[in-house]
Structure 1
Amino acid sequence: MRDAFLIAAIVAVPTALLSCFLVLKGWALMGDAVSHAILPGVVLAYILGIPLIIGAFVAGMVTTLATGYLSANSRVKQDTVMGVVFSGMFGLGIVLFTSIRSDAHLDHILFGNMLGIDAQDLWTAGIISVLVSGLLLLKWKDLMLHAFDPAQAQASGLRVGWLHYGLLTILSLTIVATMSATGLILAVGLLIAPGAIAFLVTRRFGRMLAVAVAVCLLSMMAGVYASFFLDSAPAPTIILILTALFVLAFLRRLWILRRTSAQI
């Protein structure tokens, strides 16, 4: 439980910060695609006897780069390309996993195992979290402009290509950091819900970043704590709390809009 609380605090900050940019840019499906597409890299790394983090990161980068290239050089829309690439990579991972004999549990890879992490997982998540959080906070104004208006960002002299693929690289690193905690499937919840909740609460991007971090940190701590008494897995409990907070934020925004309309 102590390690579960610790890794929850570690991954809360980078996932919350990144979720704000993904929500603004409309890349929610991209986070879903990359989180699923990492599976074949994890399986290949296990077969080759190398650290799983290396295989996960390589697979994530292949997915993001392939998606970006195909969407930029074809008439197919980006969401269609992501659906094709993600389903193909995820199917490849399932085929590879079922073709080998292993004592590893697929559910730990897919859904995480916060109560079974070791010191190496904590160090890996910590280093990646510090790196990702530092990059996002250092370049948040450039990334915000790129998310709102890429054409204006390019006209302002920003390197749009570097920002685009840099954000994709950060996305892959973040999913790798959360892999041991929430798994591949539930990681997408951490990459979308905090930013979506903060977007409903505030209209200033700087405040949105702070709200997202606070919401994510609170949800992860509460989810780990509640899972002990509910006798449930921590990761799904965290996602349920984030979902409940999103519903409350949506109802609050709806109530404010109706009250404003009534006053007018």
Structure 2
Amino acid sequence: MSLIDLLLTPFGYEFMQRALAVAVVSGVVCGVLSCWLVLIGWSLMGDAVSHAVLPGVVIAYLIGTPFAVGALVFALLAVALIGGVRSTSRIKPDAAIGVVFTTLFALGLVLISVVPSQTDLGHILFGNLLGVSTPELAQIVVLGAITLAIVLLKRRDLVLYAFDPDHAGAIGLNPRRLGALLLVLLALTVVVALQAVGVVLVVALLIIPGATAYLLTDRFSTMLIISPAIAVVSAITGLYASYYLDTASGGMIVLAMGALFALAYLFSPSQGQLRRLLPRRTRSAPRVP
């Protein structure tokens, strides 16, 4: 078999074409948003929202509505509950996140145990990338386009919020509203990526691309290019590997991202661990473009 055959054969099937489209859309959206999550320190928030959507997905399957509807409702509910607990009690942010997402995740598990024959726990937890239908693909593309459009429209305000929320408030912006907007975008992004890698692995798409890009550049504008590129390359590589090795596609995509992070961690020109052999330089946060 020639190299061209190796490259083209997997995508001769319609289900692989749909899987590729979903993986690329999910990678781009998650890769862009992960830059803000990494800089602001919201990694745990991404994990929380991704787990909290489980009951919404189960309920959507049970009543016959698109999974994206149930997932989005519970993602927004989780964000609202976390914000409410944080602002109305002495509970610290990490504790509020832990309380809300574990409770909602447990609710999802209970719902699954009540009607196990009607819900495939494996598809919910680990994704069903190869089983994406055309209507589901359309939902993912629409949600992804909406999320990216909002990010592009509010990019400068969100960048300022990430680097200096006090200055953002001083020039007339509302930091609380910008934070709430980021949380809503996070909820939308979780729904987009859910079909690709499932509840358990979606946090990897939200964190690893941005963390890898953070090691490779000190400019935020460059980071916004590198991060989604890493996610897309990982998605394509993971799909090829899953096809030829007959393994889980979502897991292979995350493993590919993990491998790229490891390479950046070791060999990054400015931040790689191998630079310990050379004179150390002070690390700086990515600069605003």
Whole-Å separation in 2 of the counterparts to 1:101 and 1:27: 33
The answer (yes or no) to whether the contact 2:46–2:203 under 8 Å persists in 1 is: yes
Percent identical among aligned pairs is: 43
- 1:109-258 correspondence runs (5 A): 109-252=124-267, 253-256=272-275, 258=277
Aligned residue in 2 for 1:259: 278
Q: Note the residue ranges of structure 1 that are not aligned, 5 or more in a row.
A: none
Give the drift of 1:257.
Answer: 5.3
Whole-Å separation in 2 of the counterparts to 1:8 and 1:53: 16
The answer (yes or no) to whether the contact 2:193–2:202 under 8 Å persists in 1 is: yes
1:31-65 Cα shifts (integer Å, max 9, x gaps): 10000000111122233333222111111111011
Write the letter of the residue equivalent to 2:127.
G
Give the drift of 1:156.
Answer: 1.7
TM-score, normalised to structure 2's length?
A: 0.87
Structure 1 position 4 matched with structure 2 position 27:
no
Write the letter of the residue equivalent to 1:13.
V
1:171-226 Cα shifts (integer Å, max 9, x gaps): 11111111111111111100000000000000100000000011111010000011
Aligned residue in 2 for 1:77: 92
The runs of at least 4 aligned residues of structure 1 exceeding 3 Å deviation read: none
After superposing the two structures, state which structure 1 stretch, 100-109 or 189-198, moved more: 100-109
The answer (yes or no) to whether the contact 2:209–2:231 under 8 Å persists in 1 is: yes
Give the drift of 1:105.
Answer: 0.9
TM-score, normalised to structure 1's length?
A: 0.95
Pair 1:99–1:21, CA change in 2 (3 A): same
Give the drift of 1:260.
Answer: 3.0
Aligned residue in 1 for 2:55: 40
Pair 1:216–1:101, CA change in 2 (3 A): closer
Pair 1:258–1:158, CA change in 2 (3 A): farther
Give the drift of 1:78.
Answer: 0.7
The answer (yes or no) to whether the contact 2:234–2:253 under 8 Å persists in 1 is: yes
The answer (yes or no) to whether the contact 2:52–2:74 under 8 Å persists in 1 is: yes
Whole-Å separation in 2 of the counterparts to 1:71 and 1:231: 45
Give the drift of 1:131.
Answer: 1.0
The answer (yes or no) to whether the contact 2:127–2:199 under 8 Å persists in 1 is: yes
Whole-Å separation in 2 of the counterparts to 1:76 and 1:248: 38
Aligned residues: 262
